[in-house]
A and B are shown apart, each in its own frame.
Chain A
Amino acid sequence: MNLRADRTAANWRTAGLLLAGAVPLAAFAAFFFYPVVSLIGRGLIGPGGIDLSGFSEVISRPRFSRILWFTLWQAAASAGLSVLVGIPGAYLLYRCRFRGRAVLRALVIVPFVLPTVVVGLAFRSLFASSGPLGSWGLDDSIWAILLAHVFLNYAIVVRTVGSTWAHLDRRPAEAARALGAGPARAFLTITLPALGPSVAAAATLVFLFCATSFGIMIVLGGGQFSSLETEIYRQTTQMLDLRTAAVLSIVQIILVTAVLAVSAAIRRRTETTLRLRASGAAERPLRRADLPAVLITALVCLLLLAPMATLLARSLQTENGWGLGNFAALATVGQGQQFLVSGWQATVNSLTAASTAAVLAVAIAVLLCVVLARKPTKPLARRSIALMDGIFMLPLGVSAATVGFGFLISLDRPPLDFRGSALLVPIAQAMVATPLVVRMILPVLRSVDDRLRQAAGILGASPLRVWISVDLPIMSRSLAGAAAFAFAVALGEFGATSFVARPDNVTLPILIGKLISRPGAGNAGTACAAGVILALLCAAVVFVVDRAVGGKRGGAQIGAF
C-alpha cells in the first residue's frame, strides 16, 4: 500500500467536501444574506449607529399585534383545514386500490405548483359577484383566503401523510379490531398515532407556507387583510418606511425559525432508512365503509377544479361573446401601449428565467446535499451540518419582498454590480426554489443505507466513485422531480421577481399582477388568459415528470416533504 498516495487521497477528499460546501455558502452569502442583511441594516442603522428604539415602537403599535395575530391564526386555520380534508385523501390515494388512482395521485399535485397569483386570480373569478359562486358572498372574505390556501397545500398533506400510510403495517390495527375496537376507535387509537409524525410534519409545513403567503394575500386580501408578509411589502414599497419593514422582517424570521425548528425536530424522528418493501400488500379495493372518505375527497376535487374551470371560462369570455380574443390580446403590448413587451414575450422571458433558475437551484442543492447528507461521528462536524441545514432553510421564511428589495439596494455596486443584468431574475428565483429542492433530495440521500456506500468502498471504490455509483443513481429520480418542481416554482415566483424584473424582461406572473391592478374588463380577461397559460406550463411540466418518476422506488414525490 502506498501510504503517501492514501494520505493525499484523504486530503483531496476533505478538500472536495469543503469545496462542495463552500460554493452554495458563497452563493447564499452573496445573493441571500447580503441583500437581506443590507435591507434590514438600512432600517435599523440610524445616523448615530444602530438604533433599536424602532423595535419597541413598532411592536407596541396596535396594528402590529393585529397583523401578527392574523398571520398566526389564518395560517393555523389553513393548516388545520388542509389536514382535516387531506387525511381522507391520503387514505384513498395511498391505501385503497381503484381505477384511475395513478392519474388522480399525479393530478393532486398540480394545484400545489400553480403560481399563487394565478390561484388568487382563479378564486377571485370564482367568488366575484359576477362569478359562478358570487351569490355565496365570499368575495373579499377570509374564507376565500383559507380555501385558496387549502387548494394550494392539499397535496402536501395527501402526499406526506400518504407516503407514510402506504408503508404502515396493517396488522396492529387489525389486532385492535380483533380485540373489540370499532373501525373509528382502531383508527383513532392505533393508526392515527402511527401517522402522527407525518401529520405534524405536513401541518407545520402548510402553516409555514400560509404564514408567509404573498400572492394569495395580495390578490384576495382586498386591502382589508394584512399579514406580516404583505405588511412588509406595503411598508417597503408604498410607505417607504424601511425601519418598520426591517422590524417586521426580523419578527417574521424569528417566527419562521421557530416553526422550522419544530418541523426539523419532527423530521428527525421520522426520517428512517429507505424501506424497499413493496407497499402493495397493505392496499385493498374500495369498500362501503370508505364512503365518507370518498365523499370528502370528491368535494375537495370540486374545490380544486372549480376555480381553475372558472379561470378558463373567464379567459374565453370577451366583450363580444366567447372566443380567443383574450389570448390574441397577449400578442399585443396591452391596451394603450401599457407594457414594453407582449404577453408572448413575457412567456418567453418566464421560460428562459425559470430554466436558468432551475439549473442554478438544482446545482446548488446537489452540492449542498453532498455535505448535508453526511453523518459524521465527530460532534463538532455533526453540529456544523445541523446548523448549515437550518441556515439554508431560511429563504423559506424570509419575505420574498425583503429578498427582492434587498437585491435592488445591495446588488447595484461593485463587486456585486448586477444592475441591468438579466441574471438577477433567475438568481432571485433560484434562492426561493433551492430550499424546496434540498428538502426533496436530502431525505432520499439520508435514507440510503450507509452500508451500500461501505460495500462499494470495500470493493475498491474511492469516495468520489462511491458517490457517483451509489448516491447519484439513487438520487437521480428525485432529482428529475426536484428540477421540475424548481422550474414550476421559478415560473410562478411573484414576490421577489416583482422587484428585480425590469420592464423589458417582465415575467408572466408580473404581467398578470399588473393587468389585474388596472381597471377594465379587457385587462381582467387578458390576465385570465395569461393565468391559463402560466398554469398550463407549470402543470404540464410537473404532471409529466411526476408521472414518469413519482411513486417509483427512490423517486421522491413532489409535495411529500
Chain B
Amino acid sequence: MALQLTGLTITYDRTVAVDQVSLEVPDGQILALLGPSGCGKSTLLRAIAGLEPLQEGRVSWDGVDLARVPLHRRGFGLMFQDGVLFPHQTVAANIGYGLRVGKRDLTKPEQQQRVSELLYLVGLAGYGNRSVGELSGGEAQRVALARALAPRPRLLLLDEPLAALDKSLRENLLLDLRRILTATRTTTVFVTHDQNEAFGIADRVALMDAGRIRQHGVPRDVWDHPIDEWVARFVGYTTVLDAGLVDRARPDGDRIAFRPSALRLDPSGDIEATVLAASASPDHTALKVLITGWGEMEAVAPADSPVAVGESITLRHDAAGVARLRSASWPAKS
C-alpha cells in the first residue's frame, strides 16, 4: 500500500471536520473522494499534504509515518481548484518551479526538457514564455497540473481541479486528466463533489459525509450496490421505497432504491401510472408519474414519445436501475 490513512481525525474549535477516517491507495491508482460541499473532503486532502494538523491518527507512505515530515519534504503534488499559479512568473517558470527548489537532481537543460515534455503532455506546447495572466481558465488549470506533475510526485493531490471550469471544458479536461494520470502512472487522490467526475476518473471511490467515509469501493460496485439511502441518493437514485411495497413476497424490512431509468415507458408493461409532468431532452423524455401504492416516482420514455400530462400509461421495470439497500439508515446519523 502506498498511501495509508489510519483513524485520521481533524477538529477546528471543537467542530469535527474529519472523523476517524481510514483509507488506503495502492501504487498507481486513482482514488476519488466524493462528497457534498462541507463534508470535510478538502480538509482531509490538505491533511494528507501536511497542511492541516492532525488531532488523531496517522498518514503514512509505504509504512513510514509522515507526522514529522514537513510538506516540502513529502514529495507530493497538490493542485488547487483555481490553479494558484505564481503571478510573477511565466508559464515555463511556474512548471519548472518544483524542479528548481526541490530535489535539484536535474541540470538546467534537463529541467527545460522536462518542462517542454509537460507542456506537450497537457496540450500547451509553445506556451512556455507566456505570462500566466494571459491564460484562460482551462489553460491555467493545465499549467497547474503540469506544475504539480513536473517533479514526478509520488502522490498527486487534486482539490476540485475542474470545478471552476465550464461544462464542456470540464468534460474535455477530465478525459485528458485520466489519460495523463494513467500514462504517468501517478498515484492520485482526487477530491470532487461531482459524481460524474469521480466515477469518470477513479479506480476507487470513497463517499464522504459529515467527516466520515460512508462507502468505499470500485465505482461499479458503489454505483450498483449503495449501502444506504444517503449513498444511494448521492449517486443518482431518486426514490427509495420499502421493499414490501414493491415485492409483496419479501416484506423483510429492506428498502429499494430506484434510478429514473428503473421505470421505462412500455405499452406492454405491467405497472400502471398517471403522468404528472414530462420534460423533453435530446435523448429521452423525463417523466414524473404517480403509481398507486408507491407514490410519486421518476421514469423515462424514448425521446419522441407523445406523452401528455394526465395520461394513463404503463411502465416496465428495469432491474439495472434498482438497488436493494441493506440498512434503513435514513435520515443519516446526526
Contact A461 B70 (CB under 8 A): no
Q: A449-B84, A458-B49, A553-B87 are in contact. Are A7 and B101 (CB under 8 A)?
A: no
Contact A460 B72 (CB under 8 A): yes
Contact check: which of A451, A452, A454 meets B71 at CB < 8 Å?
Answer: A454
Contact A458 B80 (CB under 8 A): no
Chain B residues with Cβ under 8 A from A454's Cβ?
49, 51, 71, 78
Contact B78 A470 (CB under 8 A): no
Contact B75 A460 (CB under 8 A): yes
Q: What 13 additional pairs, Cβ within 8 angstroms, besides A460-B72, A460-B101, A461-B72? A: A3-B69, A6-B68, A7-B68, A451-B84, A454-B49, A455-B78, A457-B72, A458-B71, A458-B76, A458-B77, A465-B101, A469-B86, A474-B88
* Chain A 165-185 near chain B by CB (<8 Å), digits 1 or 0: 000000000000000000000
Chain A residues with Cβ under 8 A from B53's Cβ?
377
| A6→B148 CA distance, assembly (Å) | 22
- Most chain B C-beta atoms within 10 Å of own C-beta, residue among A3, A7, A455, A458: A458
Interface residue tally on B, bucketed by range: 20 to 34
A324 within 8 A of B: no
| A416→B78 CA distance, assembly (Å) | 52
Q: A7-B68, A454-B78 are in contact. Are A459 and B84 (CB under 8 A)?
A: no
B151 within 8 A of A: yes
The smallest beta-carbon distance between A445 and chain B, in angstroms, is 14
Contact A473 B101 (CB under 8 A): no
* Chain B 43-75 near chain A by CB (<8 Å), digits 1 or 0: 000000111010000000000101011111111
Chain B residues with Cβ under 8 A from A458's Cβ?
49-50, 71-72, 74, 76-78
| A1→B80 CA distance, assembly (Å) | 25
The smallest beta-carbon distance between B213 and chain A, in angstroms, is 24
Main secondary structure of the interface of B (DSSP, over half): loop
| A9→B70 CA distance, assembly (Å) | 9
| A456→B80 CA distance, assembly (Å) | 12
- Most chain A C-beta atoms within 10 Å of own C-beta, residue among B64, B80, B101: B101
| A463→B150 CA distance, assembly (Å) | 20
A10 within 8 A of B: yes
A462 within 8 A of B: yes
B161 within 8 A of A: no
Contact A6 B84 (CB under 8 A): no
A residues with CB within 8 A of B: 1, 3, 6-7, 9-10, 276, 377, 449, 451-452, 454-463, 465-466, 469-470, 473-474, 553-554
* Chain B 92-105 near chain A by CB (<8 Å), digits 1 or 0: 00000110011100
With both beta carbons as reference points, the residue of chain B lying nearest to A469 in the complex is identified as B101
| A455→B77 CA distance, assembly (Å) | 8
Q: A459-B102, A459-B151, A460-B102 are in contact. Are A473 and B69 (CB under 8 A)?
A: no
Q: A455-B78, A458-B78 are in contact. Are A276 and B73 (CB under 8 A)?
A: no
Contact B87 A459 (CB under 8 A): no
